[in-house]
């Protein structure tokens, strides 16, 4: 069983619902400071605020790019990611072009990833979200190899907007990845039992909504 501190240091606490307010963002920042979250991913318009507010702490600012389906033109995707880094984001979570994947345009999907990585530079970790809830098993396997071949740092399961990540999704990823890159699980993770199961399958980071983060913190504090 993991401790609260161990959980916090694997956590990207997220605030991404459409009505997310300034006050909620400020609350996210304060909770991150208190619990030592590894990172926060909030509304992208507040990246400069989050970066400034977290200076001198052990929490970094991450940012999502091209939610929810990755369909933005590659040049826009790359420029957007570059802007977010210039504003203070220390990690980027981009979405694979799901349409390219389902159209079997695998080279185009990989080129899309490489363009974003090239725009943000080697020092900024890139996570590629493959959106497992909308994929069938063989598509998850294909997406895994596209991300592996791109040479980036992380493969991520889902945005949370299209459904939840299951243990089976993570198992398939783990079988294909074989420890060659890091796995981030995100989307509908609500309790410490799911986290423990995913850790056993090789997950090293978690993206969890702030609401569910607080539920899990309460659960870990009561154990």
Task: Determine contact, residues 116/126, Cβ cutoff 8 Å.
Answer: yes
Of 12, 93, 112, 117, the catalytic one is: 93
Residues 6+ apart with CB under 8 A from 64: 16, 41, 44, 92, 93, 94, 95, 159
Which residue among the candidates 77, 117, 127, 184 is catalytic per the annotation?
Answer: 184
Please state, in angstroms and rounded to a whole number, the distance separating the CA atoms of residues 166 and 117. Answer: 28
Let me know if 156 is a catalytic residue: yes
In DSSP terms, 91 is beta-bridged to 62
State the Cα–Cα distance between residues 10 and 196, nearest whole angstrom: 12
Structure tokens at 175: 């079988």
Q: Tell me, yes or no, if 93 is annotated catalytic.
A: yes
3 state SS of 134:
helix
Q: Give phi and psi for 97, each to the nearest 5.
A: -70, 100
Q: Is 179 left (phi over 0), alpha (psi -120 to 50) or beta?
A: left
CA end-to-end distance (rounded Å), the chain: 10
77 flagged as catalytic: no
- CA nearest neighbour of 206 among 179, 188, 181, 180: 188
Residues with active-site annotation: 93, 156, 184
């Amino acid at each position: 069983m993991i401790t609260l501190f161990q959980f916090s240091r694997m956590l990207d606490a997220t605030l991404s619902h459409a009505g997310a307010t300034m006050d909620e963002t400020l609350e996210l920042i304060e909770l991150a400071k208190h619990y030592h979250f590894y990172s926060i991913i909030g509304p992208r318009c507040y990246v400069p605020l989050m970066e400034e507010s977290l200076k001198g702490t052990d929490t970094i600012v991450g940012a999502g790019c091209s939610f929810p389906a990755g369909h933005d033109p590659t040049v826009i995707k790359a420029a957007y990611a570059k802007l977010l880094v210039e504003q203070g984001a220390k990690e980027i979570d981009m979405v694979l072009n799901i349409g390219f994947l389902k159209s079997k345009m695998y080279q185009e999907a990989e080129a899309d990833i490489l363009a974003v990585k090239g725009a943000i530079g080697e020092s900024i970790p890139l996570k590629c979200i493959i959106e497992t809830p909308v994929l069938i098993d063989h598509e998850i396997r294909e997406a895994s190899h596209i991300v592996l071949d791109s040479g980036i740092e992380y493969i991520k399961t889902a945005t949370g907007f299209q459904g939840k990540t299951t243990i089976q999704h993570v198992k398939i990823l783990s079988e294909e990845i074989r420890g060659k890159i890091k796995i981030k699980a995100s989307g509908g993770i609500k309790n410490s039992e799911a986290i423990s199961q995913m850790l056993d399958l090789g997950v090293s980071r978690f993206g969890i909504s702030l609401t569910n983060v607080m539920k899990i913190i309460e659960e870990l504090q009561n154990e």
